[in-house]
Amino acid sequence: MPDSVGFAQDTQPFRRELLAHCYRMLGSIQDAEHLVQETYLRAWRSYGRFEGRSSVRTWLYQIATNRCLTKLAKQSRRMLPSGVSDPERDPDAHLEGAETEVSWLQPVPDAMVIPDSADPAAIVAAREGLRLALIASLQYLPPRQRAVLVLRDVLAFPATEVAVMLGTTTESVKSALQRAGRG
């Protein structure tokens, strides 16, 4: 059985930034909240086997990023939430999702994702990484390029750590980052 107190002390400081990360990846605060819960559940289950070869923060980001990529792979089309579009004239009509366009994004309240900090510069930097225009533009990238761009450019993880998180090579991370920058 994992140590509840140790787990909470080690992982709780990263909850808001993980929520912001999942939001950047998915564009939906509800999906992000769900994936952060999944991340913490998976981390809790494997906490006793965590060997400390990376920081707890890196380990949590690895779990969260892979959960986001799995969700994005399964979700080829995103349905609009109810109340966003006009009512359907034919209730038996097939629902259509977004194809190549990002049809909707949810803005996120700062209080949910901005870290508690007395440092105004940290707050401004966090807000900059969550601007709706950035989130919208990220949605046009393929999921792995999106993950690399967010992990490297927004969160400043080293390429070697991103490669470990994504189960790939450093060269592949650098290549994906270059492709994402051209997109």
Residues 64-103: tens digit of each pLDDT: 999 999 999 987 554 544 444 455 555 454 444 434 444 4
| Architecture in CATH of 4-77+107-182 | Up-down Bundle (1.20)
Residue 113 has pLDDT above 50, yes or no: yes
Can you give the residue ranges of every domain in the chain? 4-77+107-182
Q: What is the pTM of this model?
A: 0.71
Confidence (pLDDT) at 95: 44
For range 43-59, the mean pLDDT: 91
Q: What is the pLDDT of residue 154?
A: 82
Closest by Cα among 37, 47, 41 to 2: 47
